[in-house]
Amino acid sequence: MTLTDAQKTAMSHVESHAQDLSNWCSTIFDFAEPAWREYKSAAWYVNQLRAEGFTVEQGSGGMPTAFAADWSNGDGPIIGMYAEYDAVPGNCQAASTQCEPRDGLTLQAAGHTDPHSGLGIGALGGLLATKAAMQAHNIKGGLRFMGEPAEKTRGSKPIHAAQGYYDGLAAMLSFHPFYMLPLCNTVRWDTHCGAAYSLIFRFICDAPETWGHSDGAPIPQSHSAIRAPGANDALMMMYQASKILRDSMLPHAGGWSISEAILSTGQATADNLPAQLSDLQYMIRVPTVEMAKQVTAALERNAEAAAAMTGCRWEKHWVCKSRPGLANHAMSDIVWAAMQNVGAPEWGQEAVNVARDIQSSLGMEPMTAPFLEDCSQLRSPQEAEAILRQDLPPSQTNSTSDDYTDMTWHTPTARFYVARPALKPAPKGPYPSWVMNALGGIPATIDPMVTTAAKILSVSALRLLQDKVARDRVMAEFKTRTGGGIGGKTWMAPLCDYAPPLDFKWPEYVETPRGRQF
């Protein structure tokens, strides 16, 4: 593909603002705020976008750390992009070649793993480069940039989708740092991510005095008298029963998983009173919605049994219900063409020195060429698809999980991956997890991914804005796959029928008389 003058302008814009993107990426990396609590990160994006002339709705979809930003250069197609910026508890890592937390924190604080810090800034760089080219070449149309919190809980996108934030877009461009082979420097083809359900089972022991007494009489005022086991025991029974569930559920061949998290409710005093409240969150990743419903029904049965045995009642609270993804080959072709023009990320000697220092700190002999060769190579969507399908049954149409999939039912969407720095295999086993986290925060190692992604996004967006034939092709395919577009015969409606799950004990930073803590 020959680049247009506008696309060349966008590429130059990214190059000339590379230092800004680097600084911004470090800022978000250092904020490292976890799901539903990304206050500083969201505010930073909102302020930056307003300074760039965007109209920004803060708190979009009823989520305090979400936003929707719009900019227009006149009537025309609107292209969507988005930022994620949530970090993961237990992964606090400094931008350092040693295993060490950021200043003033412990390793159990949050840190960027994927890293969403680079994801968001790469997307912002692509957005601003597209805007600059539209202004310089008088290209009509608009841009929408979504702030998507809590991706690690699959939080915001199902809510935004249900409220219409993706409707009316000509296309959505979805970038993610590479996290698994063969999806590195490539675009998804047929096999998009699957469905995800996440829910919290809450156990409440609000009448412990009536448990175990058939006549309903209250227990005597004695510490040795019988009393309900309480909410902690209910949680443990639910936890253990659902571990067993994994071994007995049918869809073992479907690339499915269940993971859980115990949310602290603050009842840490060691009295002999039964715990009144406990929360257990589950994340279900499966290829289909039908499988998600199967697993949910089994979990509900376990919750009912656990509550009955421990003198509790139980509640179910939704965190997310996301749909499996929908392919669009025409969109994938557009982004793949852009990727071929831009090329794979390139790491200079400074980055190589960083990688070698990390290997030295682990007691390894530093490698001359430490980075995984796949990180510097492009792979066609069809080749990546063929490799991905080798481990999947023919009947399985979706695999792994990410909530970008909700966007695919509202507008033509391309999902692509740019290499983040990854080291060649170590001779004595895998690298510790802090290594990838550190490489995602050190400017010399993460900046090439950010600038490469920004260029691919802007070149792709400008193709969609300038090429009506290409734009019509992606929309025609969208309508074919959905049976006529939004509301069509094969279109899957949003599954979100719940409010944002804001008021649970999600991990967060707090200011106390003892200072800032996690």
**How many CB atoms sit inside 10 A of residue 222's CB?**
8
pLDDT value at residue 55: 98
Q: 453: which 2 tokens?
A: 């992604």
pLDDT value at residue 266: 60
Q: 88: which 2 tokens?
A: 């993961």
pLDDT value at residue 215: 58
Contact 180, 384 (CB under 8 A): no
Three-state secondary structure of 164-212 = CCCCCCCEEEEEEECCECCECCEECCCCEEEEEEEEEEEEECCCHHHCC
Closest CA relative to residue 141, chosen from 55, 79, 76 = 76
Q: How far is CA 457 from the centre of its chain?
A: 18
| Amino acid type, 67 | F
Contact 388, 399 (CB under 8 A): yes
Residue 480 to residues 278, 446, 476, 484, 486: CA-CA distances in angstroms? 47, 39, 6, 6, 11
Domains of the chain by start residue, with CATH = 5-191+327-482 (3.40.630.10), 196-323 (3.30.70.360)
Backbone phi and psi for residue 121, each to the nearest 5 degrees, phi listed first:
-75, -35
Distance, in Å, from the CA atom of 80 to the CA atom of 474, rounded to the nearest integer, reads 14
First-to-last C-alpha distance (Å) of the chain: 49
Give strand ranges (E) for 233-295.
Answer: 257-263, 277-286
Closest CA relative to residue 32, chosen from 441, 313, 457 = 441
Question: Over the chain (518 residues), what is each successive 10-residue block's mean pLDDT?
Answer: 96 98 98 98 98 98 98 98 98 97 95 97 98 98 98 96 98 97 97 96 88 59 68 92 75 70 73 84 93 93 95 96 98 98 98 97 95 97 97 90 96 98 92 97 98 98 98 98 96 97 94 88
Largest CA distance in the chain: 85
| pTM tops 0.85 | yes
Distance, in Å, from the CA atom of 62 to the CA atom of 322, rounded to the nearest integer, reads 18
What are 252-296's pLDDT values in tens digits?
556 678 888 888 776 666 667 788 899 999 999 999 999 999 999
Q: What is the DSSP string of 20-74?
A: HHHHHHHHHHHH--BTT--HHHHHHHHHHHHHTT-EEEETGGG-TT-EEEEEESS
What are 450-495's pLDDT values in tens digits?
999 999 999 999 999 999 999 999 999 999 999 999 999 999 999 9
Q: Name the 3-class secondary structure at 15.
A: helix
Those residues whose C-beta lies under 8 Å from the C-beta of residue 387, and which sit 6 or more positions away, are: 181, 182
Those residues whose C-beta lies under 8 Å from the C-beta of residue 155, and which sit 6 or more positions away, are: 35, 36, 63, 149, 319, 320, 403, 500, 501
Which residue bears the tokens 């009489």?
Answer: 217
